[in-house]
Structure 1
Amino acid sequence: MFDAVRNNKKIVQVFLVLIALPFAFFGLDSYVNGGGAGADVAKVGNIKISQQEFQQSLREQQERLRAQLGQVDPKMLDNPEFRKAILNDLVDQRLLVLEAGKRRLFAGNDAVVNAIASIEAFQQDGKFSQERYEAVLRSQGMSPAGFEAQVRQDLTLQQLAGTIARTGTLSTTVSERILALQTEQREVQEVLLATADYLGKVKLADGAARKFYDDNSKQFETPDQARVEYVVLAQNSVEVKVADSEIKAWYDGHKDRYQQPEERRASHILIASEKLGKDKARAKAEEVLAEVQKKPAAFGELARKYSDDPGSAAQGGDLGFFGRGMMVKPFEDAAFGMKEGETSGIVESDFGFHIIRLATVRAAKEKPLAEVRGEIESELKAAAAARKFAEAAEAFSNLVYEQSDSLQPAADQFKLKIEQSGWLGRQANPANGPLGNAKLIEALFSEESVKSKRNTEAVEIAPNTLVSARIVEYKPAALQPFESLQPTIEKMLASQEAQKLAKADGEARLAALKSGDDKLAWGGVKRVSRMDARQLPPAALQPVFRMNAGKLPAYTGVELPGSGYALYRLNKVGAGDKLDDVRRQGLIGQLRSLAAQEELEIYLSALRARYKVEINEKALTASER
């Protein structure tokens, strides 16, 4: 299917990137400017960013990162810095929208069709599936028209961003110099003044451990813990039924949705112009057409022999069934202007010259109710469940608040099971399932909740999922006895003092080395580069590569917390191993990407100055709660 997609894999890859990047940052629904309740979080020019939109983008990013990172501290995904980063992404996107409009940039229909066709989620057996496309969009609550508008805008913004990024140039001289620094090899020797070697010189003052214990008693407390009970109200637990009459009424009122357009099945032979050049490709296509006209029954065999379309050649050129809008326009116009069994002349497209044979015409028809009944029932159930859940959520929230001394009334009314937890701490842990939500844990361990053991408010822990919990047993924080901790504290204090002695000794030796007094027993030679510095501890990387190679040997030292102090002697600096072409081009590509990214960031900063950007800090703070 999708001739344009099959004939140029690079285009597929580019469009996949174009689609993936905006959706990764902004989510499918982030272009909707409809406002939610309350004040807007920001305004960019005349475009508003509502609280509803901000919260949706925030949730999408949180879910995406949880899926990528697994268990992660919820505070990392719900703090002022994280929220500010999400808002900045939305602001940047709005700036690009404004600038694209000003420049009258617009993605054409062919680009949108090809981009959608290349998205794997819409494919079946490696080919675009209209039914799968519509089903996926329905599951996300989107229409094809809405999604296609979003894709068009994504492509337009990528067009603008890509143009700007390409202006970020990196000269050959600069890139060669950077590569030379990356591969530069340094021969160094090391002397480690280990903390353990100074422990014998440490004498702690009387009562030092006791004083540290008293001054830092919070460190030695076992945290407070609680066992809780909780109930979960989720939309997927709401039972709804749809009558046959409702399904029939919906079908009768939306028959335009169930029209199956005319489809055609064709085979083709492609002579790619990219491969031979336009003139030679046309001449070859005419020769192949002459063969096809002599042996019409051998079309499949000739396609396998001559076609440059890797996706269909092995199948005798068969493209399967396709509808209008699924092929490049010249191909579509020819295919839909033919009769069954007819073979076309030479048809030119951006990808070369086609010879098309039309096999079958599948006439437009209306899908019968029996065929789409399950689909309609699912949609109606989802809509009814959403309405019913909205009503239930309000009643649930009121009930756990009004009868706050027990969760039983809410459990009885909504037919929910009261779940019991093990011992929980104040640190939210995703492994605790519904009780892994930071806001819920904060509500559970609030002073009022701990003191009165009342229900928490209904907390939304995920879209369309509410939880209320209450403490059934509480253990306050307790200070561990000094006697059990004394040996550990004394060992820690001794190590700290030994570290100070190692550092002082190391700095004194470094001063002597720099004055010319080098009598140390240096270790073996280590050959390191910025690309391969595994033989050095991380803390030593910058000091070693900052040593001046103008006068050798050169010396430096670095404290290694917990380990001691390391001294380094630089003996020789030389060119590193020559990079193979693949690695070299890979590194240059990374450097160019960094230059492009920097150029785009500069451009976005300029747009922020050009268009008025207003951040409603009060509304942003409110949305945090």
Structure 2
Amino acid sequence: MFDAIRNSKRFVQVFLGLIILPFAFWGVDSYFGPSRGGGELASVGGSSISQQEFSQAMRDQQERLRGQYGREFNPAMLETPEARQAMLDSLVTQRLLLLHASKSGLATSDAQLIDVIGSIPALQEEGRFSKRRYEQALRAQGLTQTGFEAKLRQDLTLQQMVQAVSDTAVVSKASAERMIAIQLEERQVSEVTFRPEQFSAQVKLSDDAVRDYYEKNRKQFEIPQQIRAEYIVLSREILAQQTTVGQDEIKSAYEKNARNYVTQEERRASHILIQSPVDAPEAEQKAARAKVDAILQQVKKTPGDFAKLAKEHSQDPGSSEKGGDLGYFAHGAMVKSFEDAVFALKENQISDVVRSEFGYHIIRLTGIKPGKVRSFEEARESIVAELKAQMAGTKFAEAAEAFSNSVYEQADSLKPAADKFKLPIQQTGFFDQSNRVAAGPLAGNDKLFMALFSDDALKNKRNTDAIEVAPNTLVAARVLEQRPAELRSLESVKGEIERKLVAEAASRLAQQEGEAKLSQLSKGEPIALNWSPPQTVVRQPMRGLAPEAQRAIFKASTNKLPAYAGVHLSKGGYALFRISQAGTGTAKGEGDPRAKAQSAQLTQLAGVEDFNAYQAALRERYGVKIDKAALAKNTNE
């Protein structure tokens, strides 16, 4: 099941992106218990979704998008009523699915959970799961094993439910064939483009045109108000840097977690397997034993041919092509009889026949990595980092409150808070509300950014509140200097306006010329035009062909050829097209990748419809109530 999920269809991933949100690890009980406070936004089957949960989801979604898009991400996109409604809908859907899973007795087993955690590359050492790395990763993120695994179980359960719904999506063969025929349609097209620059010389601006445009569009030429600010940052990372750890604490942590610094002995082996389950008929077992005995004799005669013989005879599909190589593994990775034999061999030694539940094995030990204990000095640096992170995490909640109070109570300067917490006061360049580049790290948080442009910050030069800009990161800022808004002079923008007006007028002339030519061609009048060589145009996006042009080409009737189409280009000017041939591309059998792609898209659409219907049924069954007034109030705050 989980292999299927790892290789799931694209629309399964889309669903999961909507409903599995990266918010805090509340734990399973939180979904079916009382609200965590802060007011109720929605109720699902009698279980509340609180303001606090919603706010946490919004913050974590913001961080996920910022990590994905970097500076291109604009936090304002999540502040719209539509975005907030979409987030609440996502929380409702997640709650519905988990509620239904609980009522239906659906859950992720321990074995499935272990399989998924063990397959996470960041938790592996040399390709195998590392308990030490797992515990380090949890500590670094301030998570408990119980909380992390509870949340992961939820996500995996959601994956299974979405997979189950998506697998029911069915598209009829006739629908698929019709869509494929449309999508594979092709047209042979030549083009003539009427560009604005071809008509620029014909444009004559009146004496008053520039001044009139300037007077009617003064807003375009305003330089907005700009400010320069100073700011301080308090974060868990900064507290960790400021934290000192005593020698006794380091030694105590080393001794307490000694098992984390032990690397087990690992061995590398190759084998030849002749399959024979323990419950196979006796005659089959005897035949398998005779076969493996014969292979063992060949191995003993020519040990150097072990890999060759494994490729020829081994019935283990996972290793036979690699000459029987199983790689390195530690105790506990293999079945007992096989493991006992491997750890009893010397390097390059070949075993006698070994019986396991899978059949008969001939094993060769090809490598040994002795177990190792990391010394205190070797582990010291990582221990110090972990202790600092833990101590900083504990300190942050208390420090955050004191930091917030300090910037609020001594609001005319950031220096008292900076001195108290040993923080550097940093400065930005000048920036305005639409151009945030010079605002540096302040630009990424809308709440902080807008606080700097509030009346209190601008007129009174008071500190902003301490605002959380990322998990465990607070920023307070203060306006240092202002530049008032001003209007650029007509003389300074005259050339800019002239170029704009000429370009617009030239574009209109180009479009008029193109439309006139299209009218003549449509009437059958002969016209000499410099057509481009024909090219094949398909419905899929094409480099160098504007989307509006592509739509015009396929909208044109081809009952009579040549046919003609024209379009106003979004960048100005006009494009005229001559369609000389039209036809439908044909799929090259069932394996044609184009046909497969179109069928997959239709299946995706069907899956979306099925999932929407499934959600609607769950809403009807369990009942969903949304407090729209509370959501609107939340949006305005």
TM-score by length of 1: 0.80
- Measured against aligned partners, the alpha-carbon deviations of 1:116-163 in whole angstroms (never above 9, x if no partner) come to 222211111112222222222222233334433333333332222112
Match for residue 54 of structure 2?
A: 54
Contact kept? 1:548, 1:554, Cα under 8 Å? yes
- Measured against aligned partners, the alpha-carbon deviations of 1:571-613 in whole angstroms (never above 9, x if no partner) come to 2212448659463465256423444344334433443444323
User: Does the residue aligned with 1:168 lie in a helix, a strand or coil?
Assistant: coil
Match for residue 466 of structure 2?
A: 458
Match for residue 626 of structure 2?
A: 615
Amino acid at match of 1:583: P
Unaligned runs of 5+ in 2: 346-350, 366-372
Displacement after TM superposition at 1:540 (Å): 0.7
1:404 is aligned, of 396, 405, 411, to 411
CA gap 1:259/1:474 in 2 versus in 1, 3 angstroms: closer
- Measured against aligned partners, the alpha-carbon deviations of 1:86-109 in whole angstroms (never above 9, x if no partner) come to 333333222222333344333333
The answer on 1:559 being equivalent to 2:568 is yes
CA gap 1:402/1:111 in 2 versus in 1, 3 angstroms: closer
1:488 is aligned, of 485, 496, 513, to 496
How many Å separate the matches in 2 of 1:173 and 1:332? 55
User: Does the residue aligned with 2:480 lie in a helix, a strand or coil?
Assistant: strand
How many Å separate the matches in 2 of 1:467 and 1:514? 65
The answer on 1:417 being equivalent to 2:424 is yes
CA gap 1:205/1:371 in 2 versus in 1, 3 angstroms: closer
Describe how 1:282-293 pairs up with structure 2 within 5 A: 286-287=289-290, 290=293
Percent of residue pairs bearing the same amino acid type: 36
User: Does the residue aligned with 1:436 lie in a helix, a strand or coil?
Assistant: helix
How many Å separate the matches in 2 of 1:562 and 1:373? 62
How many Å separate the matches in 2 of 1:371 and 1:20? 44
Match for residue 521 of structure 1?
A: 529
Contact kept? 1:242, 1:380, Cα under 8 Å? yes
Describe how 1:493-512 pairs up with structure 2 within 5 A: 493-512=501-520
CA gap 1:299/1:506 in 2 versus in 1, 3 angstroms: closer
RMSD of aligned C-alpha atoms?
4.7
Contact kept? 2:275, 2:360, Cα under 8 Å? no
CA gap 1:167/1:574 in 2 versus in 1, 3 angstroms: same
How many Å separate the matches in 1 of 2:581 and 2:170? 34
Contact kept? 2:565, 2:576, Cα under 8 Å? yes
Describe how 1:46-195 pairs up with structure 2 within 5 A: 46-80=46-80, 81-195=82-196
Match for residue 610 of structure 2?
A: 599
How many Å separate the matches in 2 of 1:585 and 1:482? 59
- Measured against aligned partners, the alpha-carbon deviations of 1:171-215 in whole angstroms (never above 9, x if no partner) come to 334333333333322122333333344445545455232222122
User: Does the residue aligned with 1:70 lie in a helix, a strand or coil?
Assistant: helix
Amino acid at match of 1:548: S
Contact kept? 1:559, 1:566, Cα under 8 Å? yes
CA gap 1:195/1:249 in 2 versus in 1, 3 angstroms: closer
Contact kept? 2:338, 2:356, Cα under 8 Å? no
TM-score by length of 2: 0.78
1:386 is aligned, of 379, 384, 393, to 393
How many Å separate the matches in 2 of 1:270 and 1:616? 66
Match for residue 362 of structure 1?
A: none
CA gap 1:304/1:74 in 2 versus in 1, 3 angstroms: same
Displacement after TM superposition at 1:481 (Å): 0.5
Describe how 1:265-276 pairs up with structure 2 within 5 A: 269=271, 271=273
Judge which range, 148-157 or 25-34, deviates more: 25-34
Match for residue 27 of structure 1?
A: 22
Displacement after TM superposition at 1:333 (Å): 9.6
The answer on 1:218 being equivalent to 2:227 is no
Contact kept? 1:457, 1:468, Cα under 8 Å? yes
What is the aligned length?
Answer: 604
CA gap 1:389/1:397 in 2 versus in 1, 3 angstroms: same
CA gap 1:340/1:218 in 2 versus in 1, 3 angstroms: same
CA gap 1:586/1:322 in 2 versus in 1, 3 angstroms: farther
- Measured against aligned partners, the alpha-carbon deviations of 1:250-307 in whole angstroms (never above 9, x if no partner) come to 899x899989999997968475989xxx999978854565469889998994895524
CA gap 1:23/1:598 in 2 versus in 1, 3 angstroms: closer
Judge which range, 576-585 or 336-345, deviates more: 336-345
How many Å separate the matches in 2 of 1:28 and 1:385? 21
Match for residue 345 of structure 1?
A: 355
How many Å separate the matches in 1 of 2:105 and 2:274? 33
Displacement after TM superposition at 1:426 (Å): 1.9
Match for residue 402 of structure 2?
A: 395
Contact kept? 1:264, 1:336, Cα under 8 Å? no
Contact kept? 1:228, 1:420, Cα under 8 Å? yes
Contact kept? 1:224, 1:425, Cα under 8 Å? yes
The answer on 1:310 being equivalent to 2:319 is yes
The answer on 1:574 being equivalent to 2:583 is yes
CA gap 1:433/1:551 in 2 versus in 1, 3 angstroms: same
How many Å separate the matches in 1 of 2:528 and 2:310? 76
CA gap 1:237/1:318 in 2 versus in 1, 3 angstroms: closer
CA gap 1:601/1:245 in 2 versus in 1, 3 angstroms: same
Displacement after TM superposition at 1:553 (Å): 3.1
CA gap 1:88/1:354 in 2 versus in 1, 3 angstroms: farther
User: Does the residue aligned with 1:405 lie in a helix, a strand or coil?
Assistant: coil
Unaligned runs of 5+ in 1: 360-365
